[in-house]
Structure 1
């Protein structure tokens, strides 16, 4: 059989992406893996001697990411809020990967004071890969320890603060924000980042916070560029994780047979962490390809809205402006 021309392969990949289903399912990923445009896997041992920190590492995508990074040779810090569960997961991973260097550290990413403590106590001289995976979709409007709407605290404020505090140890490293395809349905609400207006919807709040992550990508990539830190975001498609089961039971019931496993959902995050050369930062990725950040005209944001959101984030975290 003659190889598929590259332009046709790109066209197939793009159609899968724009139609959402089946592109976000395990079917879409299986098709893409067979196209000539699918990038090569990272080399075995690609992360040997490197250190990776993964938040929300005790289940779902976070656990799959931590295990895959360890299999590539990285020493992995499992950052988890639930230490009982964390110790169990650490033990299970150690049994599967007896040569892996695994460290458990407590961190509630939504609590800014706990993020500061976590960074102060983190016992590693450097961080080569930082994966912001911790996430939640509370059923009603909930506030963090500092009084911020929880999804914005957990998905935006906490990750930005953690990265900012780790900048000296992250020099030359990579930061990956695990976002969600759900953000495509929402526009940036820089005018209401705390979701104080209108009736609260958990799925809308979640998607808004993920939209905020994606909108801030170029800002963060530019801010941390002086240290050689590249910033990326990935969305996993539709993956079968405990978070989906708990937060979206109807969706899980209807799409269950088509959902990717956690490893499939974490694939691009791991690829971005380990592939060489370092992909261009400030972009959104899905199935190892940079994707558009908007699919609908009504969700498009301008530079002014992005700047307004960044100024809000900077003010909440008391960060100095970039030089």
Structure 2
């Protein structure tokens, strides 16, 4: 590829990203797919012999991620709260991916005791990829079984604890935190991780927890030595979660939203690409992205350390 072509392609990709709306929609994905800098798709069968676990895999991005990895040959474990619904999804995926190897495991990721139970009972041997996709945006401030604000429990504490408990099975593997572009509008709130002050906003709580995921990437990459830690954000995707939690946004942007497979594309790519993408980074549309777009959201090391201390204390690490 000519150097000037690569520079032009990278410039267009960056422009789509920084202007947000064009880059996050189905338009951005369609344009990027046709750029010469778009990374190659993982090859069919590239995940054969590998075991993957995907949380929140009964709908939306989680279902699309599970199906995408199964289609590449992985044995996929759907980690879900409702095993009956998980069973229906297994049949749905199996109908589209002949020969898919699928299992259902029950776990409420927001309940730390249930995460411990799940990790102790998991009958898989080695685990090559762990995708933390489970998410929620409760309309009112809600607490987990252990008394933590639910979005932080579900998006930060549960995933960290699950990976901690399974890390011995994951040497040389990858873990992926599915985050959100909404985190760009929030700074890290290590001073109030439980959202105890101010008027509660579901979208703010959600974005704060996603900001925490991204800010902790370098900490987790260092802690889980030998496991590559990634965060991916899907752009704007048409999922049941968006319909239920952001109905106005869905109504306005509906025609431009990506389908679930488009939203899950980078998560599948990060999980399967060879050589492995470098860990400790935020990815969107198969390219590493900045973790901050606004000066007011920038985080210093002391604030990041304070957040990690809260995580350690909450989990008893």
Q: TM-score, normalising length from structure 2? A: 0.98
* CA-CA distance at 1:9 after TM superposition: 0.6
1:306 to 298, 304, 307: 304
State the partner residue of 1:112.
112
What aligned pairs does 1:68-83 form with structure 2 within 5 A after superposition?
68-83=68-83
State the partner residue of 1:217.
217
What aligned pairs does 1:34-73 form with structure 2 within 5 A after superposition?
34-73=34-73
Distance in 2, Cα, partners of 1:134 & 1:120? 19
State the partner residue of 1:101.
101
Relative to structure 1, is the Cα distance of residues 196 and 40 closer, same or farther in structure 2, using a 3 angstrom cutoff? same
Report the secondary structure of 1:147's partner residue.
coil
Distance in 2, Cα, partners of 1:72 & 1:251? 33
1:35-78 Cα offsets, whole Å, 9 max, x none, are: 11100001111100000000000000000000000000000000
* CA-CA distance at 1:3 after TM superposition: 10
Distance in 1, Cα, partners of 2:31 & 2:96? 30
* CA-CA distance at 1:95 after TM superposition: 2.3
Report the secondary structure of 2:184's partner residue.
helix
* CA-CA distance at 1:246 after TM superposition: 0.1
State the partner residue of 1:259.
257
Distance in 2, Cα, partners of 1:281 & 1:92? 32
Distance in 2, Cα, partners of 1:37 & 1:151? 36
State the partner residue of 2:140.
140
* CA-CA distance at 1:93 after TM superposition: 1.6
State the partner residue of 2:86.
86
2:242 to 238, 244, 250: 244
Distance in 1, Cα, partners of 2:124 & 2:29? 35
* CA-CA distance at 1:303 after TM superposition: 0.3
Answer yes or no: is the 8 Å Cα contact 1:151–1:206 preserved in 2: yes
* CA-CA distance at 1:4 after TM superposition: 7.0
Q: How big is the alpha-carbon RMSD for the aligned residues of Structure 1 and Structure 2?
A: 1.0
Alignment gaps of 5+ in structure 2 = none
Distance in 1, Cα, partners of 2:97 & 2:189? 43
State the partner residue of 2:281.
283
Answer yes or no: is the 8 Å Cα contact 1:4–1:36 preserved in 2: no
Aligned residue pair count: 316
Answer yes or no: is the 8 Å Cα contact 1:4–1:35 preserved in 2: no
Distance in 2, Cα, partners of 1:259 & 1:173? 31
1:149-190 Cα offsets, whole Å, 9 max, x none, are: 000000000000000000110111000000000000000000
| Runs of 4+ that moved beyond 4 A | none
Distance in 1, Cα, partners of 2:85 & 2:281? 33
Distance in 2, Cα, partners of 1:171 & 1:5? 38
More off after superposition, 82-91 vs 270-279: 82-91
Report the secondary structure of 1:99's partner residue.
coil
Distance in 2, Cα, partners of 1:123 & 1:267? 28
Relative to structure 1, is the Cα distance of residues 3 and 312 closer, same or farther in structure 2, using a 3 angstrom cutoff? closer
Answer yes or no: is the 8 Å Cα contact 1:69–1:76 preserved in 2: yes
State the partner residue of 2:26.
26
Report the secondary structure of 1:239's partner residue.
coil
What aligned pairs does 1:116-135 form with structure 2 within 5 A after superposition?
116-135=116-135
1:2-22 Cα offsets, whole Å, 9 max, x none, are: 997110111100000000011
State the partner residue of 1:269.
267
More off after superposition, 94-103 vs 115-124: 94-103
Q: TM-score, normalising length from structure 1? A: 0.97
Report the secondary structure of 2:22's partner residue.
coil
Answer yes or no: is the 8 Å Cα contact 1:179–1:213 preserved in 2: yes
1:62-107 Cα offsets, whole Å, 9 max, x none, are: 0000000000000000000012211111122222223111000000
Distance in 1, Cα, partners of 2:4 & 2:107? 47
Report the secondary structure of 1:238's partner residue.
coil
Distance in 1, Cα, partners of 2:46 & 2:312? 35
* CA-CA distance at 1:243 after TM superposition: 0.1
Report the secondary structure of 1:49's partner residue.
coil
